[in-house]
Amino acid sequence: MSRAHLLAVARGDAEPDLVVTGARVFSVFTREWLEGDVAVAGGRIAGVGSYTGGERIDAAGRHLVPGLIDAHVHIESSKLLPSEFARVVVARGTTTVVCDPHELANVLGAAGAHWLLDASSGLPLRVYVMAPSCVPASALESPRGPLGTEDMASILRRGRALGVAEVMDFPSVIAGDPDVLAKVALHPHVDGHAPGVTGRELDAYAAAGIRSDHEATTWEEALEKRRRGLWVLLREASNARNLLDLLELVRRFGPEHCAFCTDDREPDMLVREGHIDSMCRAAVAAGIAPENVLLMATLHPARCHRLADLGAIAPGFRADLVVLEDLESFRAETVIAGGAVAARDGAALAFDAPAVPAWVRDSIRLAPLGDDALDLGPAAGRVRVIELQAEQLITGAGEAEPAVAGGRVVADPERDLAKLAVVERHHATGRVGVGLVHGFGLRRGAFASTVAHDAHNLVVAGVDDASMRACVERLAELGGGIAVADAGAVRGALALPVAGLLSEAPAEEVVAAMDELTALLREQGVTGSAPFMTLSFLALSVIPELKLTDHGLVDVAAARVVPLAL
């Protein structure tokens, strides 16, 4: 459909494709609610006025707002294919996401990001990609391979690539490391990630040219970032619920330079709470004016990412529209994406999803576990223990007098000390790191996951080696996933065959399967709200204090491998 046709519709010389009638129409440019029908032609908005012809969508008494935009998300955290993720979030009113495919890139290299772009082509959801900047997350992790500037450049040449993804290695940025600065310099638009960074270190981080951050956990930290010209991306993730704390910034300084993002949401959170709509709901409930809330969910994320045609209901903008029942529930009655109805009454309409190529299903390369692969070594006094913290990604660096059997250190379920192992799974090297973790509550058996940030090797926790081995073997058979075993036998598993990260099943099935596995774990003593997510972050070598990778226990502050024995 040509631009000339759009203009003809705008003038009234041609019929629109579609007209949304009778709604109160939100103007992001004036914060007004305008009266008028909204005409759509060729996927774009022709105007707000009165129009003849076209498909009519009656929205009398409702509110019409631009499609919601997620300013920063890792789709992989949903454990869903991009098409399935789209089905879930489009039904909630989200029409655009800006994602960092760094989980896929850890497993599949640049090809993982390219596949995400392919797999999100033609969806009712606009999926933009930032080129991952921190693969591996540290030198102590083993992804399939490092992602270099040439790999990033290959991603940046794609049509839906917008810039450089969150530069998580903030110490190297601040220190002026030339390799990291070379990645930052690849594109003028660079997302940030600077948890707890303030003062002069934040000055240096911002001076590098980085212009957003989604890691602030207090409004004061967010204010420091906003003063320095960073877009403040208010986050509400499964494992990082920061929204309510950050809204004080909006109360005091207005919604400018603020936008919403979800970062990482487990499938159950998406299905049960929603997506950006859940943030709108929570923010309005917390007393923020709906108009300001909507700005942070529409125009502002578009502006942050320099998406000049998105985030507004105005002539020439993309026709991404949501009919909201009201401004409290933010329930999406009808969702229009690219000028076509994409969802009605909370359910996405059917669409053709790209086929999944075989090669993304074939990512697990595990060497057989040797007899002593899970051995914690000879007893020799006190040992280091990874201490879980309730509902947090950070862990403590604890210590304990270990249980001993046959002269070797072993797990001790009576004291909630489980064995933890990370098994390299990209190149079948047979490299295994082992350690002890305290706090899962595991009394019997084992559980495992090939989702294990950021390198996504296989992580398994257990109190008997036979169950741990059973989990590893099952995940090898499944081509990745999560599993629970007891007494040396697998009790249940969810296959995540795509890169070992994603299911090919519908979201509801994935949620049901995870619920079931979590229930099995409860029977084996495990507590905590999201044990598989907790497990998956124990391998992330850049979050304090003590973690485990295939190289062994990592003292994060010191950035080095340390032995089990103290």
Q: Is 35 in the site for a copy of itself (CB under 8 A)?
A: no
Q: Is 317 in the site for a copy of itself (CB under 8 A)?
A: yes
* 135-174 binders of a copy of itself (CB under 8 A): 173-174
In this structure, what token pair is assigned to residue 203? 């000055």
Shortest reach from residue 130's CB to a copy of itself, in Å: 16
- Give strand pairing partners of 278: none
Burial of 291 (0-12, 13-18, 19+ CB in 10 A): middle
For a copy of itself, give the closer residue by CB, 227 or 365: 227
Number of residues that bind a copy of itself (CB under 8 A): 58
Among 1, 139, 308, 519, binds a copy of itself (CB under 8 A): 308
Best CA proximity match to 35, nearest among 402, 428, 313, 359: 313
Within 13 Å, how many C-alpha atoms sit on residue 518's CB side? 16
Using the contact rule CB under 8 A, the part of the chain among 199-207, 329-337, 499-507, 509-517 near a copy of itself is 199-207
Phi, psi angles (nearest 5°) of residue 308: -75, -15
Among 74, 102, 183, 226, binds a copy of itself (CB under 8 A): 226
Q: Is 52 in the site for a copy of itself (CB under 8 A)?
A: no
347-348 and 383-387 strand pairing: unpaired
Among 181, 340, 403, 466, binds a copy of itself (CB under 8 A): 181
For a copy of itself, give the closer residue by CB, 88 or 173: 173
For a copy of itself, give the closer residue by CB, 316 or 441: 316
Shortest reach from residue 323's CB to a copy of itself, in Å: 20
Q: Is 195 in the site for a copy of itself (CB under 8 A)?
A: no
Q: Is 220 in the site for a copy of itself (CB under 8 A)?
A: no
The DSSP symbol for 275 reads S
Q: Is 53 in the site for a copy of itself (CB under 8 A)?
A: no
Residue with tokens 């994406």: 337
Q: Is 289 in the site for a copy of itself (CB under 8 A)?
A: no
Among 18, 20, 46, 490, binds a copy of itself (CB under 8 A): 46
Within 13 Å, how many C-alpha atoms sit on residue 398's CB side? 18
- Give strand pairing partners of 344: 334, 347
Shortest reach from residue 164's CB to a copy of itself, in Å: 14
Q: Is 340 in the site for a copy of itself (CB under 8 A)?
A: no
Among 1, 32, 329, 372, binds a copy of itself (CB under 8 A): 32
Among 188, 368, 370, 544, binds a copy of itself (CB under 8 A): 188
Q: Is 200 in the site for a copy of itself (CB under 8 A)?
A: yes
Among 207, 405, 489, 557, binds a copy of itself (CB under 8 A): 207
CB neighbour list of residue 113: distance below 8 Å, 6 or more residues apart: 101, 104, 105, 129, 131, 132, 155
Q: Is 431 in the site for a copy of itself (CB under 8 A)?
A: no
Among 47, 54, 82, 481, binds a copy of itself (CB under 8 A): 47
Shortest reach from residue 433's CB to a copy of itself, in Å: 34
Q: What is the 3-state secondary structure (H, E, C) of 483-499?
A: EEEECCEEEEEEECCEC
Among 87, 92, 303, 384, binds a copy of itself (CB under 8 A): 303
Shortest reach from residue 28's CB to a copy of itself, in Å: 8
Among 118, 256, 477, 504, binds a copy of itself (CB under 8 A): 256
The DSSP symbol for 75 reads G
Q: What is the 3-state secondary structure (H, E, C) of 200-267?
A: HHHHHHHHCCCCEECCCCCHHHHHHHHHCCCEEEEEEECCEECHHHHHHHHHHHCCCCEEEECECCCH
94-99 and 68-73 strand pairing: parallel
How far from 150 is each of 110, 132, 154, 453, 463, CA to CA, in Å?
9, 12, 6, 23, 44
- Which amino acid, residue 49? G
- Per-residue binding string, a copy of itself, 8-27, x by CB under 8 A, is x-xxx--------------x
For a copy of itself, give the closer residue by CB, 7 or 403: 7
**Rounded distance between C-alpha atoms, residue 53 and residue 46, angstroms:** 13
Shortest reach from residue 549's CB to a copy of itself, in Å: 29
Q: Is 565 in the site for a copy of itself (CB under 8 A)?
A: no
Within 13 Å, how many C-alpha atoms sit on residue 76's CB side? 31
Shortest reach from residue 30's CB to a copy of itself, in Å: 5
- Give strand pairing partners of 546: 555
Among 3, 365, 382, 560, binds a copy of itself (CB under 8 A): 3
DSSP string for 171-202: HHHHHT-HHHHHHHTT-S-EEE--TT--HHHH
Residues that bind a copy of itself (CB under 8 A): 3-4, 6-8, 10-12, 27, 29-32, 34, 44-49, 173-176, 178, 181, 185, 188-189, 199-211, 223, 226-229, 253, 256-257, 303, 306, 308, 312, 314-317
